[in-house]
Amino acid sequence: MPDFDLAVDDLLARRPPAQGRLARELIALLHDLRPDFSTKVATGWGPVNFSHSEAGFVCAVFPSDGHVSLIFQQGKLLDSPLLTDDGTVKQVRWIPFRPGDILPVDEIAILLAEAIALRS
């Protein structure tokens, strides 16, 4: 995945180092949990998008001001206390992470499986 790695490097070069490390950790976790996902760096908005062959776009890692969010496309349909939104969105919800946070691996794995099931 050299092209992908270069695109991620370019995307994260604009972020503070701790935020970049967190984004890389979250991206690597998603690759480990779901090697069947295809990934794409969207340079315009700045997320790393994850898609499933049958379910389509499932989630994204989005580095933002001071945090990195794991955004679920159909997040409003998922039930988890980790998910939040700003009250203005119709379908997405996200988990915000700050540098130093421990990634909840099991909970993320469950949410990914549920998100795929909802879209398949």
**Residue 32 to residue 98: CA distance in whole angstroms:** 21
**Residue 51 to residue 73: CA distance in whole angstroms:** 10
Task: Read off the amino acid at residue 57.
Answer: F
What 3-state DSSP class applies to 72? strand
Among all chains, which residue has been given the structure tokens 């398949």?
Answer: 120
**Domain range annotation of the chain:** 2-119
Reported confidence tier of residue 2, pLDDT bands at 50, 70, 90: low
- Range list of H helices, 14-104: 17-33
Task: Give per-residue pLDDT as tens, 91-114.
Answer: 999 999 999 999 999 999 999 999
Q: What tokens were used for 120?
A: 């398949």
Domain spanning 2-119, CATH class: alpha beta
Task: Give per-residue pLDDT as tens, 56-76.
Answer: 999 999 998 889 999 999 999
